Amino acid sequence: MTDKNDLVEELNKSTQRLLGHLSSFNETEFNFHPTPHQWSAAGIAEHLLIIESKTNEALNGTIWPTEREPGSKIELFRLALQDRSQIIDAPEKVRPSGEVKDRQKMLSALQDVRTKINKSIFSADLSATAWIFLTRDWVNLPVLNGYGLLFIIARGIFCSWKN
């Protein structure tokens, strides 16, 4: 998936699924924690908003050439996404606050960040590695280029983190 139009199409489909699912909750359900150690739907939405906002910043920030083919790691991500047996603890910097959230405001914020990412797809060099991810200063990911980052967002790998 190194064609930018295909990437936008997949991201748009993902956005519609995500917003549709989150829209199905009423305000009480949206902020309900199934157990004390599980995130609410609001918490998951906040987590995604943090990650996707940082991803958009990274796509438009300082970059370095990636020393591999742009799509070379995507198949590994695809396989990892199919394996739901491993759950990863979300790093502190991307965990939700735990505060009650307004459902409509969160949906609007997620739509807004996805719109910004769509614009960045066409303006950014997706074959490059973003500095913020190269240094791993906010989330412990393998070094990824823009294509890898956007593949993860479009396929929802962050939703499989332990919450």
Q: pLDDT of 12-34, one tens digit each? A: 998 999 999 999 999 999 999 99
Q: pLDDT of 107-150, one tens digit each? A: 999 999 999 999 998 998 887 776 555 444 444 454 566 766 67
Q: What is the pTM of this model?
A: 0.80
Annotated domain spans of the chain: 4-160
CATH topology assigned to domain 4-160: Four Helix Bundle (Hemerythrin (Met), subunit A) (1.20.120)
d(CA 27, CA 100) in angstroms, rounded, equals 9
Chain centroid, CA 145 distance in Å:
14
